[in-house]
């Protein structure tokens, strides 16, 4: 059981470039989340999804888009990367009981 | 979002007890969690407590919840060097939409 898998693990982008981060879970979870982690600020929710085909904005959605075309995948897109988006990005998923969130290993993104 | 506050750093000597504190603002949460993040890794659930409970003990871990003061604590008994990590508290609801995480407390265990 792989759990939650994020790709890529590391990426360096130039300002203005675009990229997509992929999150895949094999636990048949309904809920999926994208967070960013910055020093001293904890985890902040970017976007989330409560089921296939649905997405919603979290606390810091600007500059990001998401899609949930398949239940097991949740994609995070940066259309035009900015240095302020340098961060570590975590994907998570939960089942219906919401007693535990399972996290991926993170994607370290640097925008120069 | 909700405010979930933690102190940023804590240092303890190996063998001592560690107490990590957390305050939150939304009393409607169903669950309160403690997650551990080791260097270069994602978060892993340590334990959680229902919001209608006062205490939960799980081996070396003791969680105390003071609902009146909206204060949550995690006590680690006999702290070991392997406990060095960042610890996050979080609130969650049984409707399964969002979690709100604290800023994280970096625990350093001194041998």
Interface test with A, best of B43, B45, B49 (most A CBs within 10 A): B43
**Residues in chain A with pLDDT values less than 50:** none
What the block records as the tokens of B19 is 């107490």
* Interface contact B104, partner A, CB < 8 A: yes
Core vs surface per residue B49-86: b (16+ CB within 10 A) or e: bebeeeebeeeeebbbbeeeebebbbbbeebeeebbbb
Question: For residue range B8-59, what is the model confidence (pLDDT) as tens digits?
Answer: 899 999 999 999 999 998 888 888 999 999 988 889 999 999 989 999 999 9
* Interface contact A28, partner B, CB < 8 A: no
Residues of A within 8 A of B4 (CB-CB) are: 42
* Interface contact A89, partner B, CB < 8 A: no
Measuring CA to CA, which residue among A27, A108, A34, A22 is closest to residue A73? A22
| CA–CA distance, B10 with A107 (Å, rounded to integer) | 26
Residues of A within 8 A of B93 (CB-CB) are: 98
Query: Which chain A residue has the Cα nearest residue B31?
Result: A99
What is the pLDDT, as a whole number, of residue A53?
95
To the nearest whole angstrom, how far is the Cα of A94 from the nearest Cα of chain B? 8
Which residues touch B54 (CB under 8 Å, ≥6 apart)? B64, B65, B66, B67
* Interface contact B96, partner A, CB < 8 A: yes
Mean of pLDDT values over B83-97: 86
What is the pLDDT, as a whole number, of residue B98?
73
| CA–CA distance, A23 with A38 (Å, rounded to integer) | 19
When CB atoms are compared, the residue of A30, A42, A105 closest to B103 is A42
What is the pLDDT, as a whole number, of residue B96?
58
Model confidence at B2, pLDDT cuts 50, 70, 90, reads low
Q: Are residues A63 and A78 in contact, defined by beta-carbon separation less than 8 angstroms?
A: yes
Is the pLDDT score of B93 beyond 90?
Answer: no
* Interface contact A66, partner B, CB < 8 A: no
Residue written as tokens 């989340």?
A: A33
| CA–CA distance, B100 with B33 (Å, rounded to integer) | 10
Which residues touch B22 (CB under 8 Å, ≥6 apart)? B4, B5, B6, B32, B71, B72, B73, B74, B89, B102
Which residues touch B52 (CB under 8 Å, ≥6 apart)? none
What is the pLDDT, as a whole number, of residue B22?
96
């Amino acid at each position: 059981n792989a759990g939650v898998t994020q790709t890529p693990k590391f990426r360096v982008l130039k300002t203005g470039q675009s990229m997509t981060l992929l999150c895949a879970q094999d636990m048949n979870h309904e809920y999926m989340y994208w967070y960013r982690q910055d020093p001293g600020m904890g985890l902040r929710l970017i976007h989330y999804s409560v089921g296939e085909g649905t997405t919603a904005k979290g606390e810091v959605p600007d500059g990001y888009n998401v899609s949930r075309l398949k239940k097991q995948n949740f994609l995070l897109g940066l259309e035009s990367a900015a240095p302020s988006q340098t961060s570590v990005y975590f994907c998570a998923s939960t089942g219906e009981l919401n007693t535990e969130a399972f996290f991926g290993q993170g994607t370290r993104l640097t925008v120069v | 979002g909700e405010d979930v506050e933690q102190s940023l750093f804590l240092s303890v000597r190996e063998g001592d007890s560690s107490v990590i504190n957390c305050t939150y603002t939304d009393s409607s949460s169903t669950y309160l969690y403690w997650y551990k993040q080791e260097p270069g890794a994602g978060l892993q659930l340590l334990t959680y407590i229902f919001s209608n409970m006062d205490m939960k003990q799980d081996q070396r871990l003791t969680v105390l919840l003071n609902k009146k003061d909206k204060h949550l604590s995690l006590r680690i008994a006999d702290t070991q060097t392997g406990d060095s990590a960042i610890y996050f508290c979080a609130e969650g609801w049984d409707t399964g939409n969002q979690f709100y995480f604290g800023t994280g407390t970096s625990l350093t265990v001194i041998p």
